[in-house]
Structure 1
Amino acid sequence: MKRIKLLLIVLCIVCTLPFGKVHAKTNDTNPLEAWKHEAIITPSVDQLLPAGPIQISFKGLQDGQLSIDSYEVYVDGALVDTLPHKDKDIYKVEYYTTEVNVHTIQVIAISDDAFRLLSNQRSFAVSKKGLGIAKGVQPDDLKLSWYYNWDKEPSLPETSTLDYIPMIWSNYTGSETWLKEMSSTYHTVLGFNEPDLAVQANLSPKEAIAYQHHFTESGLRIGAPVVTWKPTESAWFLEYLEGIDMDEIDFIPIHVYFDWGDANMANLLFEVIDEAYEKWKKPIWVTEYSLAADWGGYRPGNFENESYTKEYMETTIRGMDERAYVERYAWFSFGINDQQGGATALYDEANGSLTNLGKFYKSLGNPKNSSAMTGDTYFTQIGYYKDLETWIEKSQQLKANDDYANYVNTSDFELILQEAISFTLEVEISEQVRIDDMCNRLQLAYKAVKKVDEPSENKPNKPSDDQESQKPNKDHSTSDIQDEINLPAIAKDDNVNAKSVSTADTTQFELYVGLMGCSMLLVGYILYKRKRELL
């Protein structure tokens, strides 16, 4: 008796197995609509990014209904790249911009039959403003897009969204290994810090030249060593450039300090920037610039010149934002107790609180139209009608045949065809299942139409018993089971319909029926044997 109960339990389990997705288009999920909402991965929603190369990534459309040919990537409404569809999940594109503004990204998936499926439109912002932040310090929010710390490891908390730029401060032991290992983590690296100064990196041009291949072989975007004054007039920098290939340098960092600053002094900063760009045609990073003086003009607590300092800061930031070849800049914040530049500090290193000048820096260099960043934008779109239109055309051709009168099962076919013709062409892709259902119904009705054979004078002989036994059992044929549960068979000559049914799903159904049949036979056998034992 225990065996009977056990087999009954097994039978119940088999009968309640999930039937699975028998037909791809009857699944509740809508992969086309899902892709529209989830396609863009990076940048993240309303992310503030530093100027320069922008990394765009998006999901490929993996859907059996549409055969995708390619993807078009648009930034601010302009086509920036076209990628062929491949069998992979993630696609990547690099886009370059130094425009301090809010930008938009959108991807369009294009099918083999030219259907265009629009993704969500993602907004992101670009800024050039950054800061050199000493390790162990965490200033309050300054609306920065990037930072560095004269080191090769980040110092802000992992929760920070700021882009971190590592620096190989000097040619210390182990830096070569680091460059090899971290090339997959970072995109950019800063070169030696003031190697022409004994209290800084303190390297000769020859030492820097000998080290250069480590930078080049890293595959990272490389900033040249930054000298203490104009690179166009630096003997150290000019000798260094003679020993390397300029193509191995991606941008020129600059340091500029004055002992007085106002709106007019800003032009001297622009002169340093413009000369460097005109000479080497490389993007410029101003990684340190500020005001400091021995004569006491910016000593701690001396704010008599703060209005002029603000003029200088505002004018320089506006000018650097306007120059397309300036990728990034960072004000150098002296400690608030520094005797030469304490009055130009942006924050108190002890607690991170912003000074008046820091609050002013926070208000500058921010993207225009920042209020326009309100999350992703989604567009309504008419659904995919290509399959339905194909089956309407095929059905009309069948109906136009000269011998159409010799076909049976035409009444339901004609009703469904008329319904398909009248079906609205304004259903949005969010309701794609309605279009698919109409297409499936028309396919089934089309296949149900059969031609009646003409009567023949020479009737075929009745088949023998052996021939009868070799004929397939109609009651248990797969095709009839499909008809009973309203499953369309896979068309042998039509690629569109072949996409509608999954071979794996049909196999799952057949396995389900086989398991259920075997279980029932086994239970019957056990019951029969048990009855014999009782008798």
Structure 2
Amino acid sequence: ILNMQIIKVILLFLSLKLLAQNNTDLKKGGAFSLFYENSWQERFEKLKPHWHYSWNWELRENYPDGIEFVPMIWGRGSATQSKIDYLNNLASIGKIENVLLFNEPDLVGQSNMSVNEVVNLWPLIETLNIPISSPATSAPLNDWMKDFMEKASNQNLRVDFVAIHIYHKNDSDKFIELIKEVFQTYGKPIWITEFAVRDTNATENNPNIYSESHVISFMQDVLDEIHDLDYVKRYSWFDPNANNEKYPMLQTADIINENNQLTTLGEYYASYNPNNNLSNHKKKINEITIYPNPSKNLIYIDTDSSSLKASIFDLNGRILMKKIIKTQMNISGLKQGVYFIELSTEIHKTTHKLIVKK
């Protein structure tokens, strides 16, 4: 009997450990812009992130399966009623779960917005029906960020989590100390949407002082720590573009090169908390084609699949049509307007915008 009790305790302990591990499963992300859109699938399969953002608000057609897309309202130009409506529509059909906001508004070269401008836009932002981030400043405890968070608190503005960038803590202990200080200061869940080891003095003629071994050691220590911090919900290592003039500053932090080959650092990032669903959702970018689009009465679907489940949604997320199809679908019953059509097999799923013209 005693042995059985011990076994039960051990099994309970293991189940709790697995549960705790599952709670961290979605933490690791990837950040790749529209510049890399044609290689998103390959990069995701190699780095195995659970979520991705592109510094853009739009869910692109044929977006890869098996990974969460997180849109971003990058600056004032994206903070419009039409884009808020678009994102709420995506949320209503389960395509997005979170939204990131305003990329480095404290910097002239980025979204370049004053605190008051952002605060004035916030009533519109708050109409999003899913969790929203704070603006992501170039440093999480700078004056801009503190001023915004104070005004948000005083005016009872909704900020569901804090998005932060960290490039100025190249020692793992100091990095974690800063994370803890951010949480103590703002008291909000944290997404680390950009971080890496950077030598601000490095140029083509002045080599980066941080060796690859130093950066690997940094990554190992930091990832272990932030996975144990419950209030750190997501993180995404920043991968530099080798064609950028500032690349030497981040050269040893590169995780995947311009030919989509993993570096040694990238191999470690890929192995840590991997998203293994990506290999089960492999999909070519142009696997499914719908034509004509716009259409009036009939659409054709070009695919290798023998049959597809097709669902058509209006902009409010309501299902208007749902059927099994092979190569074509009659849409004569739809009024003129813009719709979403979701096509799926047992392992593939893709959403397209469909325009009906009468």
**How do 1:397-408 and structure 2 match up within 5 A?**
none
Counterpart position of 1:195 = 105
Alignment partner, residue 223 of structure 2: 317
* Structure 2 residue corresponding to 1:153, chosen from 37, 54, 58: 58
1:364 aligns with 2:272: yes
TM-superposition CA deviations, 1:421-458 (whole Å, max 9, x none): xxxxxxxxxxxxxxxxxxxxxxxxxxxxxxxxxxxxxx
1:272-293 residue CA offsets vs partner (Å, 9 max, x unmatched): 2111211222100000000121
Of residues 163, 176, 182, the one that matches 1:276 is: 182
Cα distance, 1:272–1:176 mapped onto 2, change above 3 Å: farther
* Alpha-carbon distance in structure 2 between the residues aligned to 1:342 and 1:216: 38
Residues 297/160 of structure 1: CA separation in 2 closer, same or farther (3 Å cut): farther
Q: Quick one: which amino acid aligns to residue 364 of structure 1?
A: Y
1:100 positional shift: 6.1
Amino acid at match of 1:274: K
Unaligned runs of 5+ in 2: 1-13, 91-95, 277-358
Deviation, 1:235, is 1.6
Point out the structure with the larger strand share: 2
1:303 CA drift (Å):
9.7
Counterpart Cα distance in 1 of 2:205 and 2:26: 30
Q: Deviations over 1:191-241 (max 9, x none)?
A: 11000000001000010000001111122211000111133xx22122223
| Residues 25 and 273, structure 2, Cα contact 8 Å, conserved in 1 | no
CA separation of 1:161 and 1:173: change in aligned 2, threshold 3 A: closer
User: Which 5+ residue runs of structure 1 have no aligned equivalent?
Assistant: 1-75, 79-97, 104-124, 371-535
2:331 aligned partner: none
1:287 aligns with 2:193: yes
> Measured at CA, do residues 291 and 77 of structure 1 come closer, stay the same or move farther in structure 2, by a change above 3 Å?
closer
Higher helix proportion: 1
8 Å Cα contact 2:30/2:237 also seen in 1:
yes
Instruction: Say yes or no: does 1:354 pair with 2:262.
Output: yes
Q: TM-score under structure 2 normalisation?
A: 0.62
Amino acid at match of 2:240: F
The answer to whether the 8 Å contact 1:127/1:366 transfers is no
For residues 88 and 208 of structure 2, the distance between their equivalents in structure 1, rounded to whole angstroms, comes to 45
Rg larger for: 1
Structure 1 residues 156 and 326, CA, compared in 2 at 3 Å: closer, same or farther?
Answer: farther
- Who is 1:101 aligned against? 21
Counterpart in the other structure of 2:82: 177
**Kept after mapping to 1: 8 A contact 2:29/2:234:** yes
The corresponding residue for 2:239 is: 333
Structure 2 residue 159 is matched with structure 1 residue 253: no
**What SS does the corresponding residue of 1:360 show, helix, strand or coil?**
helix
**Number of positions where the alignment pairs a residue of Structure 1 with one of Structure 2:** 248
> Which residue identity lines up with residue 101 of structure 2 in the other structure?
G
Task: Indicate the percent of aligned positions where both proteins have the same amino acid.
Answer: 25
Q: Deviations over 1:69-96 (max 9, x none)?
A: xxxxxxx989xxxxxxxxxxxxxxxxxx
Shift of 1:173: 5.8
Q: Give the TM-score, by structure 1 length.
A: 0.42
Q: CA RMSD in A?
A: 3.2
| 8 Å contact from structure 1 (residues 136, 155) kept in 2 | no
Amino acid at match of 1:235: D
- Aligned partners of 2:255, 2:205: CA distance in 1, in Å? 14
Letter in 2 for 1:342: Q
**What are the within-5 Å matches in structure 2 for residues 9-408 of structure 1?**
101-102=21-22, 126-137=25-36, 138=39, 139=43, 140-154=45-59, 157-172=62-77, 175-185=80-90, 186-231=96-141, 234-244=142-152, 245-246=155-156, 248-258=158-168, 261=170, 265-296=171-202, 305-337=211-243, 338-349=247-258, 351-366=259-274
What amino acid maps onto 2:132 in structure 1?
I
Offset from partner CA, 1:147-201 (integer Å, 9 cap, x none): 1011101358433321010000001166332112321312211011000000001
Report runs of 4+ in structure 1 exceeding 3 Å deviation.
Answer: 154-157, 294-304
Aligned partners of 2:79, 2:26: CA distance in 1, in Å? 33
Question: Cα distance 1:331–1:159, how it changes in 2: closer, same or farther (>3 A)?
Answer: closer
2-side partners of 1:173 and 1:358: how far apart? 32
How far off its partner does 1:247 sit?
A: 5.5
CA contact (8 A) 2:256 2:262 kept: yes
In structure 2, C-alpha distance between the alignment counterparts of 1:132 and 1:280, rounded to whole Å: 24
Distance in 2 of aligned mates of 1:160 and 1:346: 22
Distance 1:298 1:315, change over 3 A: farther
